[in-house]
Amino acid sequence: MKTQSRYKASKPSIVEEIYQKLYAHFGPQHWWPAESPFEVIIGAILTQNTAWTNVETAITELRKNNCLTLEAILNIPQEKLGTLIRSSGFFNQKVRRLKTITSFIFTNYEGSLDQMFSEPVEVLRENLLTLNGLGPETVDSILLYAGKHPVFVIDAYTKRIFSRHCLIDDKASYENIQDYFTSQQNHHTQTFNEYHALIVKTAKIYCKKTASCSDCPLRSIPSIYQ
């Protein structure tokens, strides 16, 4: 899962320093907002290429129709499922992806998430990545937030913040950026959970497409704007 990183921090503890600054500023984020591991899996797929507010609407519809279980997603007609998740966008694709991962869990793990997540994480990650429509960010979100595995999630917000602070190349591969983070931190699920959530929070408030640096908790970290 890990590859040798081409990137080195400007000082050994820069990744930890950024985490501590963000945590001190924002506090714990209590991610992932879900009532069950399978709901996390559903949310990780529905949030592809859309805002979380749209996912929340879809999750609400699924909950109202008692469709937040493996059995319900497996058995519900595709057309009805598409209607329930329409707010998330690209709903026909997402219907297929929900059906695919649910069938995968039943076929390989007898419908048991506990059994699935007891698989060695490297093996499970590779198997999930073979499923159509599940890329590294979605798979790692499932492993971290549903499976409680210490896997660091890389997303567009991570690339934006850390490239603006000249710590990574924004054109680097997912694997190299992931290795940059994991090589400098203890592999602790709760830390990875909080760190990713804090990155998202920072990007949405301060590090938008047009940056607002003056009040950012990372303003003391050298950036391209200084």
Asked if residues 102 and 70 have their Cβ atoms less than 8 Å apart, the reply is yes
Tell whether 131 is covered by a domain. Answer: yes
**Domain around 71:** 37-146
Q: What is the dihedral of CA 131, 57, 197, 112, to 10 degrees?
A: -40
> Is 7 part of any domain?
no
Residue 186 — pLDDT band, cuts 50, 70, 90? confident
Give the mean model confidence (pLDDT) for residues 181-185: 89
Q: Give per-residue pLDDT as tens, 89-130.
A: 999 999 999 999 999 999 999 999 999 999 999 999 999 999
**Alpha helices for 110-173 (secondary structure H):** 113-117, 121-129, 136-141, 156-164
Spatial CA neighbour of 134 closest among 103, 112, 109: 103
What is the rounded average pLDDT for all residues in the chain? 93
* Residue 211 domain flag: no
Q: Is residue 51 part of a domain?
A: yes
pLDDT of res. 226: 75
Give, in degrees to the nearest 5, the angle at Cα 134 between 59 and 47: 30
Confidence of residue 54 (pLDDT cuts 50, 70, 90): very high
Domain count, the chain: 1
Instruction: With a cut of 90, say whether residue 199 has pLDDT above it.
Output: yes
Q: How confident is the model at residue 184 (pLDDT cuts 50, 70, 90)?
A: confident
pLDDT value at 84 more than 80:
yes
More confident call, 64 vs 3: 64
Please state, for a pLDDT cut of 90, what percent of the chain lies above it. 88
In a domain, 97, yes or no: yes
pLDDT of res. 6? 45
3-state helix, strand, coil in the chain (%, to 5): 60, 0, 40
CATH number at residue 123: 1.10.340.30
Looking at residue 170, what is its pLDDT?
Answer: 83
Q: What is the mean pLDDT of residues 173-187?
A: 92
**Domain contains 99:** yes
Altogether, the residues listed in the chain come to a count of 226
Residue 9, classed as helix, strand or coil, is coil
- 95 closest CA partner among 81, 107, 106: 81
Give domain status of residue 21, yes or no.
no
pLDDT of residue 7: 44
- Per-residue pLDDT, averaged over 127-138, amounts to 97
> Is residue 76 situated within a structural domain?
yes
